[in-house]
Amino acid sequence: MPTLYVENVPKELYEALRKRARNQRRSIAAEVLSLLEDSIPTEKELRARRKLYKKLEKLRAMPSPGLEPFPSTEEMLREDRDR
């Protein structure tokens, strides 16, 4: 597994990261990995997103099931009174 070293981290950022790791009950390294996983999509994730986007495009292109406009309030009241 590759190793990542980061130098010259601003003290304020490091302290915020340390506090966040402590609150999550993780090491700083584990917290950094978690943040990277949440922030940077892998190629597999990008493929899944593209696939989902294509499905959404197909759904948007489909005609609406109710092509007729909804009845007005007055029409619904008249229909209800006629019952």
The yes-or-no verdict on residue 72 having pLDDT over 80 is: yes
Question: According to the model, what pLDDT value does residue 55 have?
Answer: 96
Confidence of residue 82 (pLDDT cuts 50, 70, 90): confident
Question: According to the model, what pLDDT value does residue 7 have?
Answer: 94
Q: Tell me the pLDDT tens digit for each residue of 11-67.
A: 999 999 999 999 999 999 999 999 999 999 999 999 999 999 999 999 999 877 766
Question: According to the model, what pLDDT value does residue 73 have?
Answer: 87
DSSP string computed for the chain: ----------HHHHHHHHHHHHHTT--HHHHHHHHHHHHS--HHHHHHHHHHHHHHHHHHHSPPS--SPPPPHHHHHHHHHH-
Question: According to the model, what pLDDT value does residue 66 have?
Answer: 66
